Structure 1
Amino acid sequence: MRTQRLRRRPPKPPISEVNVLPYIDVMLVLLVIFMVTAPILTQGVDVELPEVTSEPIQSEEDNEPLVVSLDADGHYYLEMGSDSDEALNLEQVIQQVARLKRQNPELPVLLRGDRRVAYGEVVVLMSRLQGAGVTQVGLISQPPEDR
């Protein structure tokens, strides 16, 4: 019987190069994801949200704000100076706000929404106000009750 001798090959030197092809694939996938989501993120209404404990809004005597209210039943109200008891639909509110903003472009607009109203309805109202020429909307809130 013949014994075969196994030949040992000399060890290969370690590879000092990094394979970057998988990293390029991941980078391209992320690039596509960001390209698709970036336009979605820029669509929205610019609003400066109030802080939890905020100071009251100071208004000039001659430039009283226009308050658009949305109650829990989905009725809209316009208040300027005195309270209005007449419920309006969204189209009437937008037409009147657009008319008032054309007369006085510096007119501040505040939004008071009932907390039971769906967030989507408030966003639709803010978007429609933006279309009517309102560039900034203030949100009215109540200070938290001490418990």
Structure 2
Amino acid sequence: MKGMGMMPVTRRKPMAEINVVPYIDVMLVLLVIFMVTAPMMTQGVKVDLPETSSDPIQAQKEVESIIISVDANGAYFMEIGDRGSDPMALSELREQVAKILSQRSSKDVLVRGDQHVEYGTVVRLMSELQAAGASSVGLITDVPTGDRQDG
């Protein structure tokens, strides 16, 4: 029956390759999105540090520092390395710091206090940190703009 004007039926082999071009396009779009949003994901507490000229503290490299921040409204935040916390009460902060310091050999804690926060708020914080087991409480400041040396 092949000779009656009909074309022979040819079966095509199924294609065994996957077209990856759409996947590459999606990956590049996601890459651009992550590149744009990554800088916005850094978290921190906005603290206007007082300026003073002082010698820098020699921090131990093997242990991440515990930094307690007090913002202009008197809210307390705890930062360990790059992990920050939500605002917390002073009693809750004392419990958290006591738990962390009980597992560490270094009992040093750093305080970042906004220059507009009341003096008594920072003093109460330092007192609670010492009660939690901190052997040394340091204060973080900024270098005055006139004393900065670019070099």
Cα deviation digits, residues 45-98 of structure 1 (max 9, x gap): xxxxxx932232222321121000000111111011114151111111101100
Give the TM-score, by structure 1 length: 0.60
- Equivalent-residue separation in structure 1 for 2:85 and 2:96 (angstroms): 16
User: What's 1:79 paired with?
Assistant: 79
Confirm whether residue 93 of structure 1 aligns to residue 72 of structure 2. no
- The code of the aligned residue for 1:58 comes to Q
Matches within 5 A, 1:1-147: 52-146=52-146
Contact 1:65 1:110 in 2 (8 A): yes
Cα distance in structure 2, aligned partners of 1:74 and 1:95 = 18
Q: Which runs of 4 or more aligned residues in structure 1 lie more than 3 Å from their structure 2 counterparts after TM superposition?
A: none
Q: RMSD of the alignment, in Å? A: 1.9
TM-score with structure 2 setting the length: 0.59
Contact 2:107 2:133 in 1 (8 A): no
1:66, 1:107 within 8 Å by CA — same for their partners in 2? no
Note the C-alpha offset of 1:108. Answer: 1.9
The aligned length equals: 97
Listed as ranges, the gaps of 5+ residues in structure 2 are 1-50
